[in-house]
Structure 1
Amino acid sequence: MSRVHADDASRLAAGGFRRRFGRLTGYWLALPGGLWLAIFFVVPMIYLLSLSLMTGDFIHGFTQTFHFATYGHTISLYHDQFIRSIMYAVIVTVLTIVLAYPMAYWIAMRGGRNKSSYLLIILLPFFVSFVIRTLQWQFILADNGFVLGTLKNLHLVGSGFHLLATPVAVICGLTYNYLPFMVLPLYVSIERLDSRLMEAANDLYASKFQALLRVVFPLTVPGIFAGVLMTFVPVASDFVNAQLLGGAKTTMIGNVIYTLYLTNNDYAGASALSFTLMGVLLIGIFVYARALGTKDVMEAAAL
């Protein structure tokens, strides 16, 4: 009898341990990712924040003085580049939505068995280095390249017309490089839709354009939200396209941070600009998410 009670007690103890361990399973699974973020994101961010409040120079070293005036000083010096970066990011984001939505819609609705092939074609440029892809645009937009050279030979543009070192060149390069980041979330959002919704809209005497505008588009807002996050944020902080395709009048805030940190050794100023840019982007994201609604944000995160 005592042996039976002992077996029951051991089974109850084992069951309790499994239940407690089961409740902690999610935390154990999240532990590696949490450690990775803590070591390679949180710790560097804390150090960067501390560095932005230091004073000194590269030769004599930096001292922690909690010098908050660095933020105001750097913003006053580089506010033009700051505003230009945000404007470029807005323009590029709008262009990628306009270009990516029809592309994603056609692949999701008309791609059939070749959907994977079409998506692979869109992703093929990622098999080439980001810098090399951007350098190709120098040849495309060169004064005597096959685009402008042909137009000049046909006398459609003047001999002095050029695109390199202009905002158009920078925006073209940014749009090309970040277009797939908009296509993929839009494709996922559209592909999940029930095709019978369009049939129901047509049965209610809605044209294809009305069905697209009033049925499909509202249901794909989560995909647009995800695409905007994946496009707007990296575009605003990009420096490669402005450096390779732009000029002195197209400098973005990423170029300023790059120069301050790696050329001028102004670590405090570069850190202050980085945190300011991050703060502005976060505020913009929260305002944008608030405008769309919490439910849409959660659906976008599920993509």
Structure 2
Amino acid sequence: MKKSKSIAQYPYIVWSIIFIVVPLFLVLYFSLTNSNGDITLGNYKKLFDSNYMSVFLNSIKLASISTILCLILGYPVAYILSKVDQKYRTLFMLLLVIPMWMNFLLRTYAWMSIIGKNGIINSILKAIGLPTMNILYTDAAVILGMIYNFLPFMIIPIYTVLIKMDENVIKAAADLGANKSVIFRRIIFPLSIPGVMSGITMVFMPAVSTFVISKLLGGGQYMLIGNLIELQFTTVGDRYFGSAISILMMIIILISMAILSRYEDKEEKEGGGILW
């Protein structure tokens, strides 16, 4: 039995080596070399240039804003869905997931026709006699695109935790005289922290590394980490510096995941933070 299990693992191990380990090794190798094949840290020193640092900081800023807004919008939606009658939950979750079945690029293009100068929103504003808005090719457009594309990644993990919550705990708190506000602050939200942490991780990681949204909705005016990597590999042809940026981005994501994971573990050890 054990032998058959180990044999079944071989395809996965081979797949991981070919498509995960080898590419990571190549990226690391190129980041530490130059066009002559010499070992150098010059690619990493180049990262500290003020122009590149501004790109990194702007990427983290926009990703953080998008993550916070996704949490503000996503938590109430997840909470409402968790309270919906069981027979309707599947339908509502399907409506939430269906847009994700559409190609990511097409979803982003759709927003260009909605918020563009002659888009749907401005057409409606013109029809009712209100001034038009210039949203496209701004930070607001990039953030809007991130929220639209990544919001389900915030809602689903929070919803998953909320529906598994023991209703007896909430009923016991109500019997002891706790009102709805106290129950939410002291029980529901602390117990949902693992879902919140998962949602933050799942939104922040793609938001900080995206390049399609900033390229289309930002009009190429807003250079983010993802755009900088794409530029180095496809336009400039500097795969060495592009690899160094990729390693930096991976480090940022790993640090974010470590911080959030540590916070999540702390909450679980403290019993979800239910304090009276």
TM superposition score normalised by structure 1: 0.82
> Which deviates more from structure 2 when the two are superposed, residues 283-292 or residues 191-200?
283-292
Q: 1:37 aligns with which of 16, 39, 46?
A: 16
1:67 aligns with 2:40: yes
The residue number in structure 1 matching 2:33 is 54
1:293 aligns with 2:265: yes
CA distance in 2, matches of 1:139, 1:234: 23
Partner of 1:12: none
2:214 maps to which residue? 242
The answer to whether the 8 A contact 2:81-2:89 is kept is yes
8 Å contact kept, 2:31–2:240? yes
Q: Distance in 1 between matches of 2:253 and 2:180?
A: 36
How far 1:146 moved relative to its partner?
2.1
The residue number in structure 2 matching 1:80 is 54
2:165 is the counterpart of 1:186: no
Please point out which of 112, 130, 138 is paired with 2:86. Answer: 112
1:227/1:28 Cα in 2 relative to 1: closer, same or farther (>3 Å)? farther
Distance (Å, rounded) in 2 between the aligned partners of 1:296 and 1:155: 54
- 2: distance between equivalents of 1:43 and 1:296? 36
Query: What letter matches 2:57 in structure 1?
Result: I
**Equivalent residue of 1:293, what SS?**
helix
* Matched letter for residue 109 of structure 2: L
Give the match for residue 149 of structure 1. 123
Residue 67 (structure 2) pairs with residue 93 (structure 1): yes
SS in 2 for 1:233: helix
C-alpha deviation, 1:155, in angstroms? 4.6
Give 1:182 shift.
1.1
Report the alpha carbon displacement of residue 293 of structure 1 after superposing the two structures with TM: 2.7
Q: Is the 8 A contact 1:53 1:64 kept in 2?
A: no
- For residues 163 and 101 of structure 1, what CA distance do their matches in structure 2 show? 26
Which segment drifts farther, 269-278 or 75-84? 75-84
Rg larger in 1 or in 2? Answer: 1
Cα–Cα, structure 1 residues 226 and 29, in superposed 2: closer, same or farther, change >3 Å?
A: farther
Aligned to 2:249: 277
**Correspondence 1:161-176 to 2 at 5 A:** 161-176=133-148
CA distance in 2, matches of 1:136, 1:230: 23
Write the letter of the residue equivalent to 1:113.
K
**1:84 CA displacement:** 0.9
Deviations 1:12-53 (A, max 9, x none): xxxxxxxxx54x676555443333222211110001110112
SS in 2 for 1:250: coil
Look up the equivalent residue of 2:114 and give its one-letter code: I
Shift of 1:55: 1.3
**Identity rate, percent:** 32
2:34 alignment partner, SS class: strand
Is there any run of 5+ residues in structure 1 with no aligned partner, and where?
1-20, 57-62, 298-303
Aligned position for 2:224: 252
Structure 2 partner of 1:228: 200
C-alpha separation in 1, matches of 2:95 and 2:243: 38
- What are structure 2's unaligned runs of at least 5 residues? 270-276
Partner of 2:273: none
Task: Kindly state the Cα deviation for residue 128 of structure 1 after the two structures are TM-superposed.
Answer: 1.0
Q: 1:280 to 1:80 in 2, by over 3 A?
A: same
Partner amino acid, structure 1, of 2:149: N
Equivalents in 1 of 2:123, 2:138: separation in Å? 17
Contact 2:214 2:220 in 1 (8 A): no
Tell me, yes or no, if the aligned pair for 1:75 and 1:273 is still in contact at 8 Å. Answer: no
Query: RMSD value over aligned CA atoms?
Result: 2.1
Q: Report the CA distance shift for 1:204/1:29 in structure 2 as closer, same or farther (over 3 A).
A: farther
Aligned to 1:266: 238
The C-alpha deviation readout for 1:121-164, integer Å capped at 9, x for no partner, is 1110122110000001001101222212323444543x5x4001
TM-score for the superposition, normalised by structure 2: 0.90
In the alignment, structure 1 residue 206 sits paired with structure 2 residue 185: no
- Are the counterparts in 1 of residues 74 and 151 from structure 2 also a CA contact under 8 Å? yes
The CA deviation at 1:262 is 0.8
